[in-house]
Amino acid sequence: MPEASIPSPTVSYFKLGPLTIHFYALTMLCAIVFAVLILTLRWKRWGGTFDQVLDFTLAAVPCGLVAARIYNCLTVPWDYFPPTGSPINILKVWNGGMAIFGSLMGGAIAIALVGKHKKIPSLLLADAVAPGLLVAQAFGRLGNWFNQELYGLPTTWPIGLKLNGANAIGKFETCYTDLPCPDPQTHLFQPTFLYSIILCLSGAILLTIFGNRFQKKLKTGQIFALYLMYYGAGRAVIEEIRINSSIYFLGLRINTWAAIVSVILGVILFI
């Protein structure tokens, strides 16, 4: 194993009295807070109010979280249903399993319904929240690092991720491919969480700069369309590096197809 590598956390939670605080949950909380803060700043700059942001947030956040969990349960059913899984695992959200594509669908439905009720263009709000979504997703990937899950194929690169096998929630992912099962103690793995963080933070910066520079030329919904295309394209590449179990269709992972659909929807929305 190369001497240079990315270490994994030795713990994924801490105790606060009788409570167990999981770092994954904290990263999800940070994701929501930063997304709302960025949305608020952009929305108020565009002439909106915080009350409007609050209305959308109170609808989109719970719908997005529930949809994210449902999507994950449907696309990784063996973790949650017999004979290999247990339905009780559905409630164990601290172990990971909050899928961004499900979150986007749930949040989009909530925003569309609230927008129609409040007579506010939902696509305009989608434009405002797009950079914040990417920042939120970066926090989510940090949660994957704490859980040591959703990493990539074995690698000899010096930026490879070294697993702490005793505490890795996703330690069995090393055997989920048709390749020989690599030993976490002697192999490094592609740090897909890091690739995703770089992708998301870079995208947030680019969308903000592009949106500010061409604000008068862009049509409503085009910033969000760029988000769909940008993230979808990047996710499709990263998804194919991952080692965790997945449903396959026509030789591609199910989330790769979801990413491709994201790109297509982005193109349609942009034009």
- Break the chain down into helix, strand, coil percent, rounded to 5: 65, 5, 30
Q: Identify whether the C-beta of residue 158 lies closer than 8 Å to the C-beta of residue 6.
A: no
The gap from C-alpha 43 to its chain's centroid, in whole angstroms, comes to: 23
Residue 33 within a domain: yes
Q: Which amino acid belongs to residue 59? A: A
Taking the C-alpha atoms of residue 46 and residue 55, their distance in angstroms, rounded to an integer, is: 17
Measured N-to-C along each axis, helices 100-118 and 50-75 cross at an angle, to the nearest 10 degrees, of 140
Residue 264 within a domain: yes
Give the range of the structural domain holding residue 196, as residue numbers without chain letter.
15-153+183-270
Q: What is the pLDDT along the chain (271 residues), one digit of tens a residue?
A: 556 799 999 888 999 999 999 999 999 999 999 999 999 999 999 999 999 999 999 999 999 999 999 999 999 999 999 998 999 999 999 888 899 999 999 999 999 999 999 999 999 999 999 999 999 999 999 999 999 999 999 998 888 999 986 667 777 787 777 667 788 878 899 999 999 999 999 999 999 999 999 988 999 999 999 999 999 999 999 999 999 889 999 999 999 999 999 999 999 999 9
Residue 261 within a domain: yes
Residue 265 within a domain: yes
Measured N-to-C along each axis, helices 122-147 and 222-239 cross at an angle, to the nearest 10 degrees, of 20
Residue 116 within a domain: yes
Taking the C-alpha atoms of residue 188 and residue 135, their distance in angstroms, rounded to an integer, is: 27
How many structural domains is the chain composed of?
A: 1
The pLDDT of residue 212 is: 94
Q: List CB contacts of 48: < 8 A, sequence separation 6 or more.
A: 120, 128
Across the strands, what pairs with 252?
249
Taking the C-alpha atoms of residue 106 and residue 67, their distance in angstroms, rounded to an integer, is: 5
Taking the C-alpha atoms of residue 173 and residue 131, their distance in angstroms, rounded to an integer, is: 31
- Among candidate residues 215, 247, 211, 181, the one with its CA nearest the CA of residue 239: 247
DSSP 189-207: E--HHHHHHHHHHHHHHHH
Residue 1 within a domain: no
Residue 8 within a domain: no
Residue 91 within a domain: yes
Taking the C-alpha atoms of residue 123 and residue 219, their distance in angstroms, rounded to an integer, is: 10
Q: Identify whether the C-beta of residue 184 lies closer than 8 Å to the C-beta of residue 174.
A: yes
The pLDDT of residue 167 is: 64
The pLDDT of residue 184 is: 81
The pLDDT of residue 3 is: 60
| Element spanning 183, H or E | none
